[in-house]
Structure 1
């Protein structure tokens, strides 16, 4: 029999894609070779999460399309590891296509081809797919819990762009021995000699009564580069022409200027790609968390640019200037529109 090998290596794996492909292919070959089988083609996806369904995987999608072709060049498909091939309900959404086109699916855990009429085979594959989903969920919970503890108890900088006004510097060897052996360093924030004073100026001017737009205009007029122009290498998607009102607001609302490390300001939600076709799976969407869900370090861990009293006063002033119910009267217009609502 001629076989197509199907495999996947995700971004979550700690081994390189070539090593992952090699051991999965070796396992698949060990299953079909004693039966006179030969692997004649491969469909291996690298760098994809297991949660991505087959039809959205480049190689997996090509394999599903090849099933329809009577001249496909292979008689059956073999996978090396069901945990990496199927996730959640993917087996139930994918295997019927193999049955429909008469292509058998071989799995090491079954010891050969999956029998569509064998209830035990269906249960085994469903269990492996469920275990795969559970494993990914456990990893996410473990990582998020660990990052929260590292922020709160250690005040560790967990990556990302530094806030305007700070620079990232190495603080010493990474506390993880394996990463330290690779030369990776623990990093932290130190004040930017130029931008730190701009941050302090923004807080002073705002608390003196100036509005966000006036502050932004003043910074631009004085020739002070806006955050994207100050660090263009980290902001290649922005023009950096001038300061904006939103840039000033972001600075005024960032609690890291008080010296505390902050994490969990955003989260990644997984939502259905197509509500009319659940088999298309989910996509990740970044959303803001409420402020009461942010995690702060217990103690200051880097040099503050403003004290806590100044920051709190700025938040209270921002809230007081916010649009209240009595101010929500709509936008005035010099023209009268007959279809305009009340």
Structure 2
């Protein structure tokens, strides 16, 4: 309604007469305006109703566990055979409902889990994580190459927790090709886990807290110092395996087990011992 009023008033300012096709001819000015404004109000209400109905359908789609958009890196979208079968719609055959399933290449799940761990436990920034993933392409495969945006997008993606999530971004920003992040309070979550999780919800939340700290300029975790010291000696630090409390690392030709989080005293000891690693 605001748009039509703006156009109408601008044309009137320029001296152009505006006549709406659904307006009766003749009659009084007040009657003509009454008909015009009622029509505009009805159109505005109809638009709001359609948006509410559309969003309501999208919310229900997410709470039922069905996926929106392109599947994240460690997943593929598969047709949900248990979803209700829908008939022909007004625009043709209805698209089938799809859920997320693990990608056939199991290395993708391991890669996604590792990059989340690097952020959560080692407090690594995007470029550092990219460098680690690129160094072992056979272990961390991807179409094209790893980039900062891909890493940050995966770390921030709540679908890795096994929940289906919708309305993370607002596409209607007034700028073509641009979207903005909605606050978490506006996200729509499925009430339960609906696909295999890469990380737990608690681990995902910890990663988001670390990301917020890095963006605020907070110093990285203690393992950054270990990696920096190893790099100066020409050594690489590789995570071999991990569980809820400890991670097994390979540094040079040695393996060490470190708890998470790593105590400062232990970090200093590891750095001092690096000089004897061949």
Choose from 118, 127, 130 the match for 1:216. 130
Determine the C-alpha separation between the residues in 2 that align with 1:285 and 1:216. 25
Determine the C-alpha separation between the residues in 1 that align with 2:182 and 2:202. 24
Choose from 133, 152, 177 the match for 2:86. 177
Choose from 164, 167, 192 the match for 2:103. 192
Determine the C-alpha separation between the residues in 1 that align with 2:191 and 2:13. 54
Other structure's SS at 1:168 match: strand
Give the ranges of 4+ consecutive aligned residues of structure 1 lying more than 4 Å apart after TM superposition: 94-99, 224-227, 324-327
Determine the C-alpha separation between the residues in 2 that align with 1:310 and 1:106. 58
User: Counterparts in 2 of 1:45-84, with a 5 A limit?
Assistant: none
Higher deviation after alignment, 295-304 or 312-321: 312-321
Choose from 216, 228, 231 the match for 1:323. 216
User: Counterparts in 2 of 1:1-342, with a 5 A limit?
Assistant: 88-89=4-5, 92-93=8-9, 96=12, 100=16, 105=19, 107-108=21-22, 110=24, 113=25, 118-152=29-63, 154-157=64-67, 159-172=68-81, 175=84, 177-179=86-88, 182=93, 184-194=95-105, 195-209=108-122, 211-212=124-125, 213-223=127-137, 230=143, 240=144, 242-269=145-172, 271=174, 286-324=179-217
Q: Deviations over 1:262-317 (max 9, x none)?
A: 1111124455x9xxxxxxxxx89622111232221110111112223432332343
The alignment's TM-score, normalised by the length of structure 2, stands at: 0.62
In the alignment, structure 1 segments of 5+ residues that lack a partner are 1-50, 54-87, 231-239, 274-282, 328-342
For the Cα contact (< 8 Å) 1:168–1:188, is it kept in 2? yes
Determine the C-alpha separation between the residues in 2 that align with 1:208 and 1:288. 25
CA RMSD in angstroms, aligned pairs only: 3.8
Higher deviation after alignment, 118-127 or 170-179: 170-179
Q: 1:98/1:123 Cα in 2 relative to 1: closer, same or farther (>3 Å)?
A: farther
Aligned length: 215
1:171: how far off?
Answer: 1.1
1:126: how far off?
Answer: 1.7
